[in-house]
Structure 1
Amino acid sequence: MAQVAINWVQQNYLSLIMALLIFFIGKWIANLLTKGFAKLLSKAKVEDILINFLSGIVKTLLLIFVAVAALSELGVQTTSLVALIGAAGIAVGLALKDSLQNFASGVMLIIFRPFKAGDFVEAGGASGTVERIAIFSTTMRTPDNKEIIIPNGNIYGEKIVNFSARATRRVDMVFGIGYDDDLKKAKTVLTDLINSDERILKDPAPVIAVSELGDSSVNFIVRPWVNSSDYWAVYWDTHERVKLKFDEEGISIPYPQMDVHLDKV
């Protein structure tokens, strides 16, 4: 067996040298092309994770091409090999159809950036703070510190609500008073409470108005604007302050009631 190999090398040493030159020079060129491709993506401000992934794919394809060229120089019939690689690629593609969908969605998420790490979003049937955007999935952390991993296909194929995309948000609140209470006094109390909160923005101006004459209450809408980071603090604090101030001013906050009449037969 060793003698056969030695004889083959003696008869084909020129082809062997050429094949090795093709492989090593081709590998060197493939590395240069891959680095150049990565630099182009970097200048286009593509995310690092996508640059690394696409560069890996490009490098693998180039190395396959170099290997086929080197084998062809040695006299190996590469036609059937190329067909085999193509068939394997199709089979893998069909087997990984869902994964490829997640990959494509991940690429779109990274390129178009509907959200970034640190944003609080509602996407893929879940809500939370985005911790990591990977090629196949996105990891979020819920307010109660649970980790959710969502396939990117589920995210990109549905509605995405980004609560952190804008610097400011409007806080929508509704407060009801009784029909016997002083309407103007209640509106003045609400206006003073909103204006005294330094976290509430002056522009756009807050809206305080009667929105509905309900079944058991007169309802005010209170809609101030705040910085996004202050949203929940203002929401919770305002509800507490309104309840305390209404109690102090003798303004009632009605709750649903039902009168039951029993007829004696």
Structure 2
Amino acid sequence: FGIALKIAILLMAAGIAGFDTSALVGMLAAAGFAVGLALQGGLGNFASGILILIFKPYKVGDWIDINGKFGKVEEIQIFNTILVTPGHKTLIIPNAQVTSQIVTNYSKKGFIRLEIDIHMPYEESFPKIKGIIEQVLEKTPLVLNEPVPQIGIETFDNFFVKISVKPYVKPDDYWDVTYDIRSRLKAAFSANHITVTYPESVRQGEIGG
């Protein structure tokens, strides 16, 4: 209040002395408006930060998605949430955006499901391939026994049968296990002489079991 009073007195004195103060008053008004908007946004982020700390929708170390921005929570500040992406990029997200958007927490339950698709030719035997996949999952480190992995036929395409493989892992192990399973599956299919489909040069074959 004291600063505002001093500015008003200076403006009055300048006006009495014959100076044109209209431009200066306009600049001060615009500056005041801008400061007000900045404070409004800052207060919104501050209030959202308090809500996040109280209700804890996520914590440091969790993998989350905020409006399409995915990463691991590195720090929860009073105004911002800091994420680090799998590519080691730092995302600084205002907390007001967090409380106004849908937040997906991949770490809340302690495990996450992988989704790996395999294209099986119609002439191959599904029970045979399912057995190979089960053996691969049993021998792959970091794949969880509970919940039980799911293996099933997802869809029947024109050229192949789409098999969905859905094991569960800890969130921090997601990418390592994904690459490991794919590598092991390729080796197992090769060792068991499992054929694959090539849509560019489709060949007909009998339907397996």
Category of TM-score, reference length = shorter chain? 0.7 to 0.9
Which of 163, 172, 191 pairs up with 1:220?
Answer: 163
Which of 53, 60, 70 pairs up with 1:117?
Answer: 60
Q: Which structure has more RCO (C-alpha within 8 Å, separation ≥ 6)?
A: 2
Q: CA RMSD in A?
A: 2.3
Normalized per residue, the structure richer in strand is: 2
Q: Which residue of the partner structure matches residue 256 of structure 1?
A: 199
Q: Which residue of the partner structure matches residue 120 of structure 2?
A: 177
Q: Distance in 1 between matches of 2:131 and 2:37?
A: 66
Q: CA deviation at 1:232?
A: 2.2
AA at the equivalent of 2:70: S
AA at the equivalent of 2:76: I
What residue ranges of structure 1 are gaps of 5+ in the alignment? 1-90, 260-265
Question: Percent of aligned pairs with the same residue?
Answer: 34
Q: Which residue of the partner structure matches residue 97 of structure 2?
A: 154
Q: Which residue of the partner structure matches residue 130 of structure 1?
A: 73
The two structures have a TM-score, normalised by structure 2, of 0.72
Aligned residues between the structures: 170
What residue ranges of structure 2 are gaps of 5+ in the alignment? 1-32, 203-209
1:196 aligns with 2:139: yes
AA at the equivalent of 2:66: A
Contact 2:63 2:171 in 1 (8 A): no
Q: CA deviation at 1:213?
A: 1.2
Contact 1:166 1:228 in 2 (8 A): no
Q: Within 5 Å, which residues of 2 pair with 1:59-78?
A: none
Q: Distance in 2 between matches of 1:160 and 1:127?
A: 10
Bigger mean CA offset, 181-190 vs 92-101: 92-101
Moved runs in structure 1, 4+ residues, more than 4 A? Answer: 91-95
Which of 166, 172, 175 pairs up with 1:232?
Answer: 175
AA at the equivalent of 1:237: D
Q: Which residue of the partner structure matches residue 68 of structure 1?
A: none
Normalized per residue, the structure richer in helix is: 1
Provide the secondary structure at the position in 1 that maps to 2:199: coil
Q: Distance in 2 between matches of 1:103 and 1:208?
A: 46
Provide the secondary structure at the position in 2 that maps to 1:235: helix
Distance 1:100 1:125, change over 3 A: farther
Provide the secondary structure at the position in 1 that maps to 2:97: helix
Q: CA deviation at 1:217?
A: 0.9
Distance 1:225 1:146, change over 3 A: closer
Provide the secondary structure at the position in 1 that maps to 2:127: helix
Q: Distance in 2 between matches of 1:228 and 1:142?
A: 13
The two structures have a TM-score, normalised by structure 1, of 0.58
Deviations, residues 169-194 of structure 1 (Å, cap 9, x unaligned): 22222111111223322122112112
